[in-house]
Structures are given as C-alpha cells and as structure tokens.
Structure 1
Amino acid sequence: MASKKISMKDLDELALTAADVLAQVREAMIEPHPRKVSPTFTSPAIAELCRVDKTQIKYLTQKHSLPAGNRMEGSKAKDYTLEDAITWIQTVGNRPTRPSGQLGKVIAVCNYKGGVAKTSTTVAMAQAATLRGLKVLCVDCDGQGTATQLLGISPEQDVEIGHTIMPYIHDQQPDFRYAVQTTYWHNLSMIPASSGLLAAEFALPAKAMSQRGFPFWEVLKNGIAPLREEFDLILIDTSPSLSYLTLNAMYAADGLIMPCPPDALDFASSVQFWGIFSELIENLPSAKDKSYDFVSVVFTKVQQNEISRIVKEWMKQAYGAHINGVEIPESNAAKTAAAQLKTIYDLSKPDGSAEAYRRYKEPLDRLADFILDQLAIAWSKS
C-alpha cells in the first residue's frame, strides 16, 4: 500500500492540532505565569540555607527582626515564603556578595546538543543563586523558550516578539532593559524567548553584510551591559547549537558552563563544539583577546555504569582542570519535576523518594556554591 505524500497543508493542520493539544495539556497540568508559585521553607530548611544551627532560629529572628514564619495549621512547625527565606539568607547567611561599585557577572550555559540538561541546569542555578542572596537575571536565547516556560511564562501564549531581545537586535531599543520581566520567583527576573527569536539567525548576518565591519558577535554583550549594574548574576541559556546568538552569548560571558553527560556521542559533540568555537573566534577581530574568569564542564545525567566511568576518564583527559568536580545524576526526581515544568528547587518537599531528591539536589547545591565562589574570586580581582 503506497503511503500518502505529506503536503504543506497537511503540516499546517498538524501544527494546529499539536498546538491545540499542547494548550489543553498545559491548561490541565501546567501552571504558567502568574499561577506558578514559589516553594515554602521549613525552619530547618532556613537554618540549612543560612548555615546556622536550627536552635538559633528563634534568637536570630528576634535579634535581626527577621520574618518569623507562619504557623502551619494543625502543627507546631512554621513555614516561610521564598521572600522570607531570601531575607534570612541576605541578613545572616554570610555568603559572598557583590562589592559596591562592582558590576554583575555573566555566565553562558552552552552545548552543541540538546537533551544534556542545559536549560534545567541554567534555571536551577538561577534559583539556587537567589537562595545564596544574589539578584539574578536569566536571559533565554533559545527559540524553543524552555527556560521561559520553566520560569512560569508560556512562550506561545505570553511572549510577543517585542518581549524578547529582537527589538534591540533590530535597533528599536538602546539596550535590553525594556525586555526584563519579573517572575514568580523572588529576586529572579528574566528576558523571555519565543520562536520569533530564530529571526536573529538571519538579522545578525544581514547586518554584518550591510554594515562593513559590524561586530555581530558583540550585540548581546552591548545589550546586556547596563543590566550588570542592576543584577549580581546574569545567566544566559543558549540553543543547542553554535548559532549566531550562542556565539554572542559566549562572547558576552565572563564564565562558561557546559553541561555534558559522560556519553561517547555527547563527548564527541562537545569536542567538536569547542573546536568550531575556537576557529570562529580566531577569525573575529578583537575577539581573540577575549578571556574568561572560568570555563567549567559539568557531568550531567550521570549513570552508575562502566560506560559512564570510561567516558568520564576520557573527558578528564581532554578537559583537565576545566572538569568540574560536581556530578549531577540521572534521576527520577529530576524527571518528576520536569514533567510538571519545575526544577528541584520548585519543590517545597520531595515529590517521591526523599533519597532520590537528596541525591539530585546536593550536587546542584555544590554547583551553585562553585559559581558563587567563582564570582567572589572574580570580584576580588576586579
């Protein structure tokens, strides 16, 4: 039996049907902005975040006039809002902070491939950074808009092209300040993305062709510049490619993080990514002088098997000191959170196995601490 050819009209109908189904699923399962809500925290969780003994909570509450939490119904325990938790952290957490007069730092999270936990790591690090007292901006430079979705904003329903970085790229805005939106997560703002962002891959080379000497690789760097004064940390989520926008993000960044599973194909792809990036930079005037505070390759989706062990050894040989000591495991806790369009930090308590939750969250916390340490070192040298 001959198969029917698929026409463009068929594809149009497919797209409409798929979009309708997705909208129904989202309505039933997902809580897009502004309905997505931040987690709450128990007294022991506050103590852990602030790195104090839980017996000190009452004393510190009185001493610093800190939020006292709300008594949970039918229990002697108290819970605290995210804003309460951040107030505690900023007051008694004794974490590194941005020195007066210093600019915020930019980190780009990049990889050639999809499915490596790039976006979930970006958003988790943005949330974790606020839980270390920082004011954070997440810039979504991936037309799929997954980071936008994770932060409670629907790319299809809530994001028009004017909300993205595109007006700046088209010279309709002087910088990116117009595009910054608050999110449901206290002290975490974002610049959202939608499929319209794909137009950047045509607009940037078109500018380079029409304007002799136009530094197309500096567009993101210049647009972000004023926001460094407002935010301590700016995290850029990139598309799974070495596109014009990804190149811009990497050039704008002070530090680079590459999430990469210890899988042979992912490793080979990462090597290709760095090789192409190096060649591109070599041919861009002024870009050859670019330097980074750090470049870190992070093992993600790690499985406890012989293949992972072998590939980790290859990657350690290839990347040396750039390999981060943190290993983020393949986890049912991550899958459960992702199914609800959440990260592990969105959960007030384990959704499923407490042990699986702990095994997944602990390395993310260590990665966030690593980033904070890198920021502190860079600020001390500025």
Structure 2
Amino acid sequence: MDTQHTTQDFQHLKQGADDYIKRRNLRLLANHRKELRNYTRAEASAYLGIDAKTLDKYVAAADIDPRRHEDSQWSIDIAEMYRVRDLLPEALRKEPKFVRSDKQQAQVMVIQNQKGGVGKTVSAATIASGLATEFHQEYRIGLIDMDGQATLSMYYAPEAEQEGNLSVGDLMMRNFDLDEGETFEQVVSEAFLETTVPNLRILPAAQSDRAMEGWFHEHVFSHQLPSPYSLLSDIIDSVKHEFDIIIIDTPPSLGYATFNAYFAATSVVFPLSITENDIDATCSYFSYIPQVWALLENANHPGYDFMKILLTNHRDSSTTTELMNNLYDYFGPYLYSKEFKHSEAIRQASSLLSTVFDMSKSEYPKSKATFQSAQQNGYEVTSQILRDILNVWREQEQA
C-alpha cells in the first residue's frame, strides 16, 4: 500500500466515471432531443379558454402559420402560445399577468431531504414547469440545480456543460473572470439559461460541482470564507428582480451546498416517498433538523415563510393508507393534502428528460388517459404550493 498507487486508482476511477457519464449524456441527447411543447387546435383552445374561431383570429394576428409543418396538421408550440396569449385583451385572458410589487419578495423554495430516492428532482422539475405553464399569470420561474449529479440540468440544459456554460458551482467557487466593464450581476443573469418553457430559466449544475464540498472545507479551514452559508444567497440576491419564484433542488446530503440552499430559501418543502424505509430515514433526519436550524439562525437567517412535507410515490393500498394515517397523526399540520401519485406517465416523461407539463397529451407516446391523470395530479399538487406562496405575498402586501 502506498499513496502513489492509491492516487492512481482514484484517478482511474474518476476517468472511467467521467467517460461513462459523457457517453450516457451523449446517448440521451441523441435519443431524446427536447422540443418545445406543442398544442393541437383543440388543446390550444382549451388552454387559453377561448373558442376555436377566436383562437384562429389571434393566431393570425401573431403572424403564426399553424399548418406550416410537414404533415400540415394544425399545431403551435408553447412559445407561440405565449405570443397569442399576450395579444388577448384582458377580458379574454384566464388571469391577468402577474407583476410583483416592491413589497412582495421573490419566493425561494428549497426542495430537500437527506434521504435519497424520495423524488426531490422530479418534484422540483414538475413544480417548476407546472408553475410556469399551468397558471396564466406568467410567473417568472427560476430553477437552481445544487446536486452535482446534474440530473435536473439534464431536463432543461442538457448541453450546458459541453457548451462551457457556467454552473452554480462555478459561480459559488468564483471559477470565472469578469470581462472589462462586466458585473457579477450580469454574469449570474447570463448563467441562468433559457429552457423550452419561455418563462422558466435554470442555473445548471455540472459534474465538476462535486468538488464544491472540498472547496468549502479548504476555504473554511484556512479562514478564507467567513460566511460559508451565504454564497448562494448572494447569487440569488443579484438576480431576484428577474424572478418571482426560485426553486432549488438539493443533493441527498447535508454539506455546505445544502446549507447554502437552506440559507438562501424563504420556504422549505420536504418530499417524502410513502414507504416504511423512507419515512424512518426522514424521521431520523427531522430529529437532527433543529441543529441545522440553530446553525442557520446563528448565521442570521430570518426564518421561513412556510415549511411543508410533500408526499410522493403514492400507491393505492392498505399499507399506504396505514402509513399516511400515521403521518397525519404526527405531522398533520405540515402535510400537503395532495400528494404526487405513482404514475407510469411521470416515469415515462422522466425517461424522456421531461415532466408531464413539458409535453401535451397529443405528444405523449402511451396512454392518453394515464397522461391526463398525471397532469391533473401535478396541477393539484402545484396549486397547493402556489396557494402558500400567494398567502405570503398577500401578507407582505398588507404589512
């Protein structure tokens, strides 16, 4: 045993892993290149809440040819849908466009659980895309991928790392140089990338962000980082005016990256898969969470606007019913009443690097009824989260 051989072994493992991930990502991109969500004439009419004749009028006014496609079928994509909606008079819009007042703060929600496999990333992606697409107020949504696995980034910015875009780790570790006249705020704003949803942007992660924990330890121990929990908060503060709601996906661990997410957040949602093992592991985590909060409070966190538990992977069974009854006994006030149900449509969409809100029913390759049910379930889950956010904004406006 010697350090030289051990170093070589770790380097070989790293190289193999990097090559494997690169090959996997290239294969995913080749097989599942993500396109804008498309709508048939009936879907577009239902989405906007107007009849087909009125729809045709405003599609023409937006200078869109819905039959330009090879098959000549009527279809418009989500970006074109937003252009049409922008032309509608207020009387025809389902909801007026939201404009956040000076009193209403951008809401920053962290999706966190130290237990892996409970649905953090799928929940974050579904909630973000649902808030962006299913509510006609056109909320400006930001996503931040704090997990070095970069799974969420594969949904919305799969080519970010190959194209040399800055990751959240690059920003936190300051792995960039400012050009002459360029500001930190400009760098951060450009790092939030456009996605296939017009009002949803993402600050991606990269595989290299796995080095972040080591970087934090080195800088904290050498006294070069007096405020190690506030780096992400500084990043968000520089672009808060560009977003209404920011959602942070976190790794299944409790390192400096997760503490930064907690410190930057104004609210917390804990996804919890309804299985005995996941509940036990999450309860163990909750037993420790007061110590986490003590560190955050000591760093001058002002407290959260709300804190909720979101149940995931719900299957209809007597075992699930018993587990849910137990959860309501002990965590009732914190549980959202609507849970993400186990769904083949969600699983299938995820395999296509999408959520059920990134595609339309007509685009889904399998059972349309299953897909529509998953969309409705996602809408119900997202609606209750939005209600909490709206209540916070209402209180801030009245203060």
Instruction: Indicate the TM-score class for this superposition, using the shorter chain for normalisation.
Output: 0.7 to 0.9
Considering only aligned residues, what root-mean-square deviation do their CA atoms show, in Å?
A: 3.2
Q: How far has the Cα of 1:298 moved from its partner?
A: 1.3
Alignment correspondent of 1:344: 356
- After the TM superposition, which of the residue ranges 60-69 and 355-364 deviates more from structure 2? 60-69
Query: Equivalences for 1:232-251 in 2 at 5 Å?
Result: 232-251=244-263
Equivalent residues of 1:37, 1:185 under 8 A apart: no
Q: What is the rounded CA distance, in whole Å, between the counterparts of 1:128 and 1:255 in structure 2? A: 18
Structure 2: where are the runs of 5+ without partners? 1-7, 179-183
Count residues in correspondence: 370
The question of whether the paired residues in 2 share the 8 Å contact of 1:136 and 1:188 is answered with: yes
Contact 2:194/2:200, CA 8 A, preserved across alignment = yes
Identity %: 20
Query: Structure 1: where are the runs of 5+ without partners?
Result: 1-5
CA displacement 1:185-215 (0-9 Å, x = unmatched): 2121111101211222122333333338822
In the alignment, is residue 38 of structure 1 matched against residue 43 of structure 2? no
Superposition pairs of residues 296-375 of structure 1, within 5 angstroms: 296-349=308-361, 350-375=364-389
Alpha-carbon offset, residue 11 of structure 1: 3.8
Contact 1:254 1:292 in 2 (8 A): yes
Q: CA shift at 1:379, angstroms?
A: 1.6
Q: Distance in 2 between matches of 1:21 and 1:369?
A: 38
Aligned partner of 2:172 among 168, 175, 182: 168
Gap change, CA 1:208 and 1:129, over 3 Å in 2? same
For 1:40 and 1:63, the matched residues in 2 are separated by 14
Deviation at 1:302, TM superposition (A): 0.9
Which residue among 120, 126, 146 is the counterpart of 1:118? 120
Inter-partner Cα distance in structure 2 for 1:103 and 1:143: 28
TM-score normalised by structure 2 residue count: 0.81
CA displacement at 1:157 relative to structure 2: 2.8
Aligned-partner residue type, residue 86 of structure 1: Y
State the SS of the aligned residue for 1:108.
Answer: strand
Query: Match of 2:238, SS?
Result: helix
Kindly state the Cα deviation for residue 297 of structure 1 after the two structures are TM-superposed.
1.2
Distance 1:287 1:9, change over 3 A: closer
Counterpart in 2 of 1:94? Answer: 95
Which of 58, 80, 83 lines up with 1:84 in the alignment?
80
Scaled by the length of structure 1, the TM-score of the pair is 0.84
Task: Give, in whole Å, the separation in 2 of the partners of 1:16 and 1:64.
Answer: 49
Q: CA offsets, 1:141-174, max 9 Å, x none?
A: 00000111011424653456x4333333348574
The answer (yes or no) to whether the contact 2:146–2:251 under 8 Å persists in 1 is yes
Code of the residue aligned with 1:70 in structure 2: it is P
Instruction: Describe the shift of the 1:322–1:73 C-alpha distance in structure 2 as closer, same or farther (beyond 3 A).
Output: same
Please report how far the alpha carbon of residue 225 of structure 1 lies from its aligned counterpart in structure 2 after TM superposition. Answer: 0.7
231-240 or 182-191, which deviates more: 182-191
Contact 1:143 1:193 in 2 (8 A): yes
